[in-house]
Amino acid sequence: MTGPGDTLHVAVATLGTAARKTAFQQAINLVCQQVAPRLGRVVVAHWDSASCWGLQVADYALWAVQRHIERGDEQYMPFIRPTLVTEFLPFGAA
C-alpha cells in the first residue's frame, strides 16, 4: 500500500533511444498518477535487461502472479510467495 508523499521506484528494461526512454518515463508517470495520485514522486530507472538479473527475476514473479490471478494456476506460486508482501488488483477484480 502507498501513503501520501511516498516515492514509487519503477525499474524498466531499456528501450533503445533516449527519445523512447523519455516517452516511456512520461507514460509510466501518467499511469502512476492515475492509479495512485497521492504519491509524492515517481522515480523510473532504466536498466539494460540483458545485464540485469533482477529484471529477469521480477519478470518471472509477475508472470507467476498473472497466471495465478487469471487462471488460478498455483504451480509457480510456492517459489515466489515467500517474497510477496501484498497481492492486489489496482483496477478491480479480474
The structure's pTM equals 0.49
The reply to whether 32 and 68 lie within a common domain is no
The reply to whether 62 and 91 lie within a common domain is yes
Strand 41-47 versus strand 7-13 pairing type: parallel
Cβ-based burial of 64 (10 A; exposed 0-12, middle 13-18, buried ≥19): buried
Which of the four pLDDT bands, split at 50, 70 and 90, describes residue 25? confident
Look up cell 495512485; give the residue.
36
* pLDDT given for residue 85 in this prediction: 82
Total number of domains in the chain: 2
Q: What is the pLDDT of residues 11-24, one digit of tens each?
A: 777 666 778 778 87
The reply to whether 60 and 70 lie within a common domain is yes
* Residues of the domain holding 31: 1-50
* pLDDT given for residue 14 in this prediction: 66
The reply to whether 8 and 46 lie within a common domain is yes
Q: What is the pLDDT of residues 31-75, one digit of tens each?
A: 777 766 666 777 777 777 667 777 778 888 889 998 998 899 999
The reply to whether 46 and 60 lie within a common domain is no
The reply to whether 60 and 33 lie within a common domain is no
The reply to whether 11 and 43 lie within a common domain is yes
